[in-house]
Amino acid sequence: MAAVLLVPEWLSGRSSIPPVAVDGIDAEPTTDGRLLGHFPYSEASSDLLVPVEAGIELHRDAALALNAMRRSAAADGVDLRLLSGYRSHDLQKSIFFDVKSERNQSAAERAKVSAPPGYSEHSTGYAVDLGDGEDPATNLSQSFENTRAFRWLQDNAAVYHFTLSFPVINPQGVSYEPWHWRFEGSSEALRAFEPARRLAVGQ
């Protein structure tokens, strides 16, 4: 009788990198590699990051596409603003735990709106948070969906290989984030987000 080798789902393509436990979070990663809904992501190598605006870096492939997309939006009279790009695991740790403490949230509550360290798409350098320069009050708010910038993104972002990461109903159970988009225009980016894409289409 042939031996049957049981392989963790993350090794069979469900997750791009091995999941890790996070100090301060009691929950364990699920069999598909997710922690509180989020897939694990590696940090982008520093030699692949380029400055896009003061204090904001992106993977060079995402930066090229974003710059082209913003030029096209501007030609249509839309002021797309870059609010956030690459985040190190250390920065994500601070964002997750410091705000969690300030808001007296549980880890599960916090994970609805912010990924635990090691599990943020921003760590890849491919994810961006976008705003509307004509309506900054909607920055990082679900009301961003009512802006001209969001409507323009819905109609045009796919041309530049950007996709909305967390739509209204998403299988990861993350809160709706109309401002959060990820670049999928290279083989490396597609590999990074393959587990999330497969989950979204139910495979």
Whether 68 and 145 map to the same domain: the answer is yes
Q: Give residue 99's pLDDT.
A: 81
Whether 198 and 163 map to the same domain: the answer is yes
Q: Give residue 201's pLDDT.
A: 85
Give yes or no for residue 60 having a pLDDT over 60: yes
Exposed/middle/buried for 54, CB within 10 Å: 0-12, 13-18, 19+?
exposed
Give yes or no for residue 6 having a pLDDT over 50: no
> Which of 159, 187, 165 shows the shortest CA–CA distance to 61?
187
- Using DSSP's 3-state secondary structure scheme, residue 154 falls into helix
How far apart are the C-alpha atoms of 140 and 113, rounded to whole Å? Answer: 10
Q: Give residue 16's pLDDT.
A: 57
- From 27-36, 85-94, 138-147, the region with the lowest mean pLDDT: 27-36
Domain CATH for 140: 3.30.1380.10
Q: Give residue 2's pLDDT.
A: 43
> Which of 175, 116, 117 shows the shortest CA–CA distance to 145?
175
Whether 73 and 132 map to the same domain: the answer is yes
Lookup result for tokens 């950007």: 162
Average pLDDT over all residues of the chain: 90
For residue range 152-197, list pLDDT tens digits in order: 999 999 999 999 999 998 999 999 999 999 999 999 999 999 999 9
Whether 166 and 189 map to the same domain: the answer is yes
Q: Give residue 202's pLDDT.
A: 76
For the residues 127-152, what does the mean pLDDT come to? 98
Band of the pLDDT at 17, cuts 50, 70, 90? confident
For the residues 43-63, what does the mean pLDDT come to? 97
Whether 107 and 192 map to the same domain: the answer is no
Give yes or no for residue 74 having a pLDDT over 70: yes
Q: Which two tokens stand for residue 6?
A: 């049981």
For the residues 134-162, what does the mean pLDDT come to? 98
> Which of 134, 123, 141, 152 shows the shortest CA–CA distance to 178?
141
Whether 152 and 185 map to the same domain: the answer is yes
> Which of 89, 91, 93, 74 shows the shortest CA–CA distance to 152?
74
Domain that holds residue 109: 87-118
Whether 165 and 199 map to the same domain: the answer is yes
